[in-house]
Structure 1
């Protein structure tokens, strides 16, 4: 299920340039879920191409995870104004699209608080759940969920960067086929 290019299910449509749909291997058993598109993503139509995306790519490359072998998406498909966090209502409007993207996957990597709030219902500190393997339901079926830090949190925090690197190692060692 994909949104109509002129989707108006929530107010985020008012300020967007375009929808930002998943990229990478759309059939991959591994999906990274971020928060929402930023300015660069809104202009390009692809997730994680701005500053956070460059850091994510660098960490993935350092740890031997090939971006082209995973799917990358966001909890919402439109950029929130001034890069604020998406609201619960905005995430709920996009949730059917996200669920269809996640259905049948082996592992979901939740990048940051918004992804964890939307998919896990978790509102606490990332340090309490980062790299914990948790089962979540996607369309009634259990899927492995690994919460970790959003790359934006890694820009200024060595601890967050180290945790994201650990996520990549877990992913490479346990869930990606060579």
Structure 2
């Protein structure tokens, strides 16, 4: 199932401006997974372009990554009204698109509770589980999942910012380690 810019699989299609596809390198082994597009993303048509996106870009830059090195996407591809959390049926409607995006990803940085819930099938207590390495199987690929805070949490919490930066460092280190293993 390929990305559908005219998708009408759930009620979010009635209030969105446009469907927001993934951004970055589709072939990257690293994916940053958020919750849903916000107002700016809905207008522009790219994920993480508002304030939270600027934080994510800055933190990636601080550790030597950029959007061209990773894939950035959301659990749902349409903005929920009033930026509310996506509902289960909305997440289910987007799941086939998300699974296609995640096939072959070695590392998925799950940013925020909704991303963790959709990916892992359970609530995650980020205060306890952030930056722990979990595993999921998508298709026939084992992917490591790094639960962490959503960049929007960094507006209010230096701890969230430090945790998210560490998540990005872990993902980059894993990528570097795997690149070295493949050369050996």
Matching residue of 1:66: 66
> 1:22-33, aligned counterparts within 5 Å?
22-33=22-33
Matching residue of 2:78: 78
Distance in 2 between the 1:105 and 1:21 partners?
Answer: 17
Matching residue of 1:42: 42
Tell me, what secondary structure is at the counterpart of 1:6? coil
Q: Deviations over 1:105-159 (max 9, x none)?
A: 1111101111001001221421121111111121354211111110001111011
Tell me, what secondary structure is at the counterpart of 2:31? strand
Tell me, what secondary structure is at the counterpart of 2:47? coil
Unaligned runs of 5+ in 2: none
> 1:13-24, aligned counterparts within 5 Å?
13-24=13-24
Aligned residues: 178
Cα shift at 1:18: 0.6
Tell me, what secondary structure is at the counterpart of 1:132? coil
Cα shift at 1:4: 2.6
Distance in 1 between the 2:111 and 2:124 partners?
Answer: 14
In the alignment, structure 1 residue 98 sits paired with structure 2 residue 101: no
Unaligned runs of 5+ in 1: none
Distance in 1 between the 2:11 and 2:63 partners?
Answer: 38
Distance in 2 between the 1:59 and 1:142 partners?
Answer: 26
**TM-score normalised by L of structure 1:** 0.95
**Structural RMSD (CA):** 1.4
Matching residue of 2:117: 117
> Relative to total residues, which structure has the larger helix share, 1 or 2?
2
Q: Deviations over 1:46-66 (max 9, x none)?
A: 000001000111111112222
Cα shift at 1:2: 2.2
Matching residue of 2:128: 128
Tell me, what secondary structure is at the counterpart of 1:109? strand
Q: Deviations over 1:16-63 (max 9, x none)?
A: 111100111111111111000001000111000001000111111112
Q: Deviations over 1:75-112 (max 9, x none)?
A: 00000000011111100000000000000111111011
Checking the alignment, whether the CA contact within 8 Å between 2:32 and 2:108 is kept in structure 1 is yes
Distance in 2 between the 1:70 and 1:13 partners?
Answer: 27
